[in-house]
Amino acid sequence: MNSNKLTVSHAPFWHDGDSLFQMNLNIILALLPAAIFGIIQFGAPALGVVALSISTAMLWEFVMNLIAKKPITVGDLDSAVIGMIFGIMLPATSPWWLVVVGTFVAVVIGKMIFGGIGANPFNPALIGMSFLMLSWKVMFDFDAAYVNYDFGYTALAPLAALKFQGAAAIADLFPTMDLIMGKQVGAIGSTFGLGIILGGIYLILRGYIRWEISLSFILGIIVTAFCFNMANPEIYGSPAIHLFSGYTLLGAFFLATENSTSPVNTIPMFLYGFLAGLMIILMRNIGVYEDGTVLAILLLNLVNPLVDTIRPKVLGKGANNA
């Protein structure tokens, strides 16, 4: 009897000729401008956090491969990408144990227990980040984290200042160009907006992420923030401060576009991205969260299977063959 079995993998069933290693290597390269800027900006502690995050993420996957007696898969660099994204979303002053716990949750719970790459219903890096934010929220107080740093510019996290002081009080503190060029307090890899945008454009041009998600995500941020700002400009910030601060740009190009947790059909991509941007602004403006990017994208991960079923209706009928 033939013992060969048909192996069916998870969607999407599209191959562009590149290996997982090549795709993940390009994602890491796209993240480098923002990561290097953050390391220069925040110093050696930032390098330690990123290095520890990448190494422990790969270690957790290696250990899980051994425990499950499965082929070693760390060579595809998927866990390295998870570790790098997770690492640059942390403050440079994060203690070692916070990094280790976070990568464990991200890789083991967020990815491996669901069956590994392609089977995870949620973005693994965001699973780890949400766990840390809910458990040790004080660790993500960027103002307190960098109290001993002398940056030479406004040493306040823009979204926190906006949340607690209102748009009118901070109108002159955060020029848009300063935000784009990284003159702001935040996570290691979230401050340099220009670097994130360049990395995202690179991935779009190479075909590794879908422009539909990124564009609609940004439009969701701009349109929703503009509506709030028009309603009450004294309290609600302009689209620019929402777009170029916090995790917003990371969300647009590196978080919402994760292959396993985002739609594969065109109309759902536009809906998915726009709704993610809308939810982020709702969480920031009328919710209790200063940023909201992490939880908003996880929420869209949850409804992604439903959104991805939306199809345009076919007009007319095909001819019946006898």
Looking at the chain, the number of H-run helices and the number of E-run strands are: 14, 0
* Residues 127-173: tens digit of each pLDDT: 999 999 999 999 999 999 998 888 878 788 999 999 999 998 888 89
pTM to 2 decimal places? 0.89
Query: For a pLDDT cut of 70, what percent of the chain falls above it?
Result: 91
Q: Is residue 313 part of a domain?
A: no
Q: Is residue 31 part of a domain?
A: yes
Least confident among 36-45, 206-215, 303-312? 303-312
Residue 294 Cα to chain centre, angstroms: 7
Residue 159 amino acid letter: L
Q: Is residue 312 part of a domain?
A: no
* pLDDT higher than 50, residue 321: no
Based on the fold, state whether residues 92 and 218 are members of the same structural domain.
no
* pLDDT higher than 90, residue 61: yes
Least confident among 2-6, 185-189, 276-280? 2-6
pLDDT band at 316; cut points 50, 70, 90: low
Least confident among 29-38, 103-112, 143-152, 226-235? 143-152
Alpha helices (H) in 191-321, listed in sequence order:
193-206, 211-231, 239-243, 248-250, 266-286, 293-307
What's the mean pLDDT in 113-136? 93
What are the structure tokens assigned to 154, written together?
A: 């406004």
Per-residue DSSP letter, 252: I
* Residues 267-288: tens digit of each pLDDT: 999 999 999 999 999 999 998 8
Residue 198 Cα to chain centre, angstroms: 15
Based on the fold, state whether residues 126 and 257 are members of the same structural domain.
no
Distance of CA 79 to CAs 87, 90, 152, 301, Å?
12, 17, 36, 19
Q: Which of 150, 186, 68 is nearest to 174 (CA)?
A: 186
Q: Which of 25, 30, 38 is nearest to 189 (CA)?
A: 38
Q: Which residue has the tokens 């089977």?
A: 119
Based on the fold, state whether residues 130 and 197 are members of the same structural domain.
no
Alpha helices (H) in 109-232, listed in sequence order:
124-135, 142-145, 158-165, 176-180, 193-206, 211-231
Q: Is residue 284 part of a domain?
A: yes
| Residue 202 · residue 196 · CB < 8 Å | no
Per-residue DSSP letter, 157: -
Which of 108, 138, 168 is the endpoint of a domain? 138
* Three-point CA angle 259, 260, 265, nearest 5°: 65
Based on the fold, state whether residues 261 and 199 are members of the same structural domain.
yes
Residue 12: asked if its preceding bond is cis (omega within 30°), the reply is yes
Q: Is residue 246 part of a domain?
A: yes
pLDDT band at 313; cut points 50, 70, 90: low
* Residues 10-33: tens digit of each pLDDT: 444 444 556 889 999 999 999 999
Based on the fold, state whether residues 123 and 169 are members of the same structural domain.
no
Q: Which domain holds residue 32?
A: 20-138
The reported pLDDT for the residue numbered 223 is: 97
Based on the fold, state whether residues 173 and 73 are members of the same structural domain.
no
The reported pLDDT for the residue numbered 315 is: 61
Which of 75, 108, 138 is the endpoint of a domain? 138
Based on the fold, state whether residues 250 and 202 are members of the same structural domain.
yes
Burial class for 51, CB neighbours closer than 10 Å (0-12, 13-18, 19+): middle
Q: Is residue 13 part of a domain?
A: no
pLDDT band at 309; cut points 50, 70, 90: confident
The reported pLDDT for the residue numbered 29 is: 97
Based on the fold, state whether residues 175 and 303 are members of the same structural domain.
yes
pLDDT band at 192; cut points 50, 70, 90: very high
Based on the fold, state whether residues 224 and 252 are members of the same structural domain.
yes
Angle between helices 78-88 and 20-42 (to 10 degrees): 20
* pLDDT higher than 90, residue 252: yes
Per-residue DSSP letter, 106: I
| Residue 152 · residue 55 · CB < 8 Å | no
The reported pLDDT for the residue numbered 322 is: 44
Burial class for 42, CB neighbours closer than 10 Å (0-12, 13-18, 19+): buried
What's the mean pLDDT in 53-81? 95
Based on the fold, state whether residues 68 and 199 are members of the same structural domain.
no
Based on the fold, state whether residues 181 and 222 are members of the same structural domain.
yes
The structural domain count of the chain equals 2
Based on the fold, state whether residues 164 and 116 are members of the same structural domain.
no
pLDDT band at 226; cut points 50, 70, 90: very high
Q: Is residue 319 part of a domain?
A: no
Which of 81, 106, 138 is the endpoint of a domain? 138
CA distance 46 to 161: 23
Residue 123 amino acid letter: N
Q: Is residue 225 part of a domain?
A: yes
